[in-house]
């Protein structure tokens, strides 16, 4: 979809925050690209080019503005929920897969050739996957230089660069300054308990309801949730998320800073930070759900820090209370004796008998763990439709279980866990018929959260 020049220029002139992250303004007279909300003087129309993605602006030779800091933009709306190959590729890039395995590994993960992946990226984004990876690394590094006192060496590896020399050369080539030059101009601060970063979102954001939802389902030994924060044990450390006025504050204490990009991506997914509340409200606000949206503007769908963990939660939660499921999940973690939630390989080796589950439920979990451990099932980057079909083929996985996994782990904005008792009760109380469910597309997952919240 091409950008409308007049609409974009009007948004830039008004510094309209609703357009932040939707496009970037490149100024040909300065060689700088900015966010729509940049406080700098609005450039002349003849000197402006608009790009939908930061990577495309950088590929065209523009450098990020030091005043508005494009690295702080919320993620582009749409790609967070798109199930096509480019959308999945972008989420895997954010998760650090390309840093670990290169673009060739990214293509293998998506079961396509590098050439085909490059062609799709150029068509959709205006630049190739390597340029997107490079921009993501540079913008994360720039944020770390601004907001932390991490040594430049650690920042290089945290952002995904293979060496400090590569980091220095790439930043100098792309931005015209070295990491050391930028560090001299910033008042970087490191939090007493670890590395702290701001994670942006599009307002409004209903943080209180998000934390209440996560608190009710917090796994003992893994998660601690209060009215003001979410804390989690992860491999190699801990992370904490605290809602603030216009962002979520991430504090991470990790042994290996190379994990950081993946931690940031998982946190954004868990708190649904790339959602577009305006688009969601435009659809659901015209239906019988309008009073619920008015009561909780900016309600998000709680995601999953880990796809496999969420699938385990869904299986354990079949036909029992939320509190009962939480108790059993805590027993599973204790039995596995792992730091954080067990991986699929670890759970596959764990004896799950005697924890309060039926033999059928245990068999379902073992089948799930074996499928994920053997790479037959990809819950963090696979095609959503194929993944749901594969889940339905596993023993003990019905439409409700798969629908819940799609809603929280697969990030399907239209997922609908049909047959859910809480949804039925809420709809009956509000006098909503089953025929209305179709009018909530493509945001039925958000409709489900509003109904659960209204029970």
CB 89 within 8 A of CB 117: yes
Alpha-carbon distance 383 to 406, whole Å? 11
Which residue in the list 4, 6, 8, 34 is annotated as catalytic?
Answer: 34
Strands 223-225 and 230-234: antiparallel
Distance CA 314, CA 298 (A): 25
In this structure, what token pair is assigned to residue 390? 């594969």
Of the residues 65, 274, 378, 420, which is catalytic?
420
> How does DSSP assign 426-437, residue by residue?
HHHHHT--GGGG
Measure the CA–CA gap between 126 and 51, rounded to whole angstroms.
Answer: 9
CB 90 within 8 A of CB 132: yes
Contacts of 158 (CB under 8 A, 6+ apart): 140, 141, 144, 150, 257, 258, 260, 261
Strands 63-64, 24-27: pairing is unpaired
d(CA 103, CA 166): 17
Is 99 an annotated catalytic residue?
Answer: no
Using N-to-C axis directions, what is the helix angle for 307-316 and 359-373, rounded to 10°?
A: 170
Kindly tell me the sign of the dihedral angle through the C-alpha atoms of 197, 199, 200, 205.
negative
The sheet carrying 24-27 orders its strands as: 48-51, 24-27, 32-34, 63-64
CA atoms within 13 A on the CB side of 335: 16
The encoded tokens of residue 52 equal: 């939908």
Query: CA-CA distance, 258 to 135, in Å (whole number)?
Result: 17
Strand partners, 241: 230, 250
267 is catalytic: no
Angstrom CA distances, 126 to 30, 140, 447, stand at: 22, 21, 34
- Residues marked active site are found at 34, 420
């Amino acid at each position: 979809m091409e950008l409308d020049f007049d609409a974009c220029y009007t948004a830039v002139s008004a510094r309209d925050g609703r357009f932040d992250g939707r496009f970037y303004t490149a100024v040909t007279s300065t060689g700088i690209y900015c966010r729509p909300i940049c406080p700098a003087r609005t450039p002349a129309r003849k000197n402006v080019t608009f790009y939908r993605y930061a990577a495309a602006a950088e590929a065209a030779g523009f450098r990020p503005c030091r005043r508005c800091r494009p690295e702080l933009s919320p993620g582009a709306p749409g790609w967070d929920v798109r199930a096509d190959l480019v959308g999945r590729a972008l989420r895997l890039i954010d998760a650090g897969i390309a840093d670990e395995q290169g673009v060739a590994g990214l293509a293998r993960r998506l079961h396509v050739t590098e050439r085909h992946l490059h062609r799709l990226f150029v068509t959709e984004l205006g630049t190739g996957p390597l340029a997107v990876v490079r921009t993501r690394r540079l913008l994360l590094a720039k944020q770390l230089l601004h907001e932390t006192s991490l040594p430049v060496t650690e920042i290089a590896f945290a952002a995904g660069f293979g060496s400090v020399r590569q980091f220095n050369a790439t930043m100098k080539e792309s931005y015209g300054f070295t990491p050391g030059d930028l560090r001299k101009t910033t008042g970087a601060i490191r939090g007493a308990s670890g590395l702290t970063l701001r994670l942006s979102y599009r307002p409004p954001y209903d943080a209180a309801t998000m934390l209440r939802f996560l608190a009710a389902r917090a796994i003992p030994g893994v998660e601690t949730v209060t009215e003001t924060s979410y804390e989690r044990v992860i491999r190699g450390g801990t992370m904490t998320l605290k809602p603030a006025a216009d962002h979520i504050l991430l504090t991470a204490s990790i042994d290996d800073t190379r994990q950081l990009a993946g931690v940031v991506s998982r946190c954004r997914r868990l708190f649904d930070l790339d959602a577009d509340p305006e688009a969601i409200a435009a659809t659901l606000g015209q239906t019988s759900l309008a009073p619920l949206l008015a009561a909780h503007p900016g309600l998000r769908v709680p995601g999953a820090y880990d796809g496999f963990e969420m699938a385990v939660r869904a299986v354990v939660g079949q036909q029992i209370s939320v509190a009962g499921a939480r108790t059993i999940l805590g027993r599973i973690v204790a039995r596995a004796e792992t730091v954080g939630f067990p991986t699929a390989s670890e759970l596959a080796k764990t004896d799950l008998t005697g924890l309060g589950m039926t033999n059928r439920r245990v068999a379902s979990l073992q089948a799930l763990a074996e499928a994920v451990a053997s790479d037959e099932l990809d819950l963090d980057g696979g095609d959503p439709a194929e993944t749901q079909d594969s889940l339905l083929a596993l023993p003990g996985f019905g439409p409700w279980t798969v629908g819940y996994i799609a809603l929280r782990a697969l990030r399907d904005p239209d997922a609908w866990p049909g047959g859910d008792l809480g949804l039925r009760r809420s709809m009956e109380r509000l006098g909503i018929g089953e025929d209305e469910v179709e009018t909530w597309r493509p945001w039925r997952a958000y409709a489900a959260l509003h109904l659960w919240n209204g029970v």
